[in-house]
Amino acid sequence: MRHANKVDGSDTHNSNNMDSNDAATSKLGRWRDPRHPDPWIARTNKFLLRFIKINDAQIQMTKDAYMEGDPLADELISWMHEAGMRKSWPQFELALTKGLPTVDSPSPSLTAFFSVLETPPAWMDHAAMRRGCDVAMRTSKMGEIVGFSGLLGGYAAVGLAKPLVATRGLDKATKLRLIETMQWVYDVYSSDGLGRFSPGFISTVRVRVLHALVRHKLVAQGWNCKRWGLPINQVDMGVTLHGQGVINLMAMRAMGAIITPSEGRDYFMLWRYIGHIMGVAPKFNPSSEWEAIKLIPLLMGTQEGPDEDSRHLAKALLETRREIWPEGKVGRLLADCDVNLRVALTRVLAGKAAGDGLGLPDHLLWQLVVYMIPAANIAQDLVRIMTPGATDRATRRGYEQFRQIMERLSEGKRTLVTITRSEFKTWRPKGINPMSRTPPRGSGICGRYSGCRSGISPRNLE
End-to-end CA distance of the chain: 21
Residues 6+ positions from 412 with CB-CB distance below 8 Å:
none
381: closest CA among 259, 282, 263?
Answer: 259
Do residues 62 and 302 touch, judged by C-beta distance below 8 A? Answer: yes
pLDDT the model gives residue 181: 84
In tens digits, the chain (462 residues) has pLDDT values of 445 565 544 443 334 333 444 445 557 889 999 999 999 999 888 899 999 999 999 999 999 999 999 999 999 999 999 999 899 999 999 999 999 999 999 999 999 999 999 999 999 999 999 999 999 999 988 888 999 999 999 999 999 989 888 876 555 567 777 788 888 998 999 888 899 999 999 999 999 999 999 999 999 999 999 999 999 999 999 999 999 999 999 999 999 999 999 999 999 999 999 999 999 999 999 999 999 999 999 999 999 999 999 999 999 999 988 888 888 899 999 999 999 999 999 999 999 999 999 999 999 999 999 999 999 999 999 999 999 999 999 999 998 888 887 777 766 554 444 333 333 333 333 333 322 333 333 333 333 222 222 233 333 333
Do residues 184 and 203 touch, judged by C-beta distance below 8 A? Answer: yes
pLDDT the model gives residue 171: 53
pLDDT the model gives residue 169: 55
pLDDT the model gives residue 125: 94
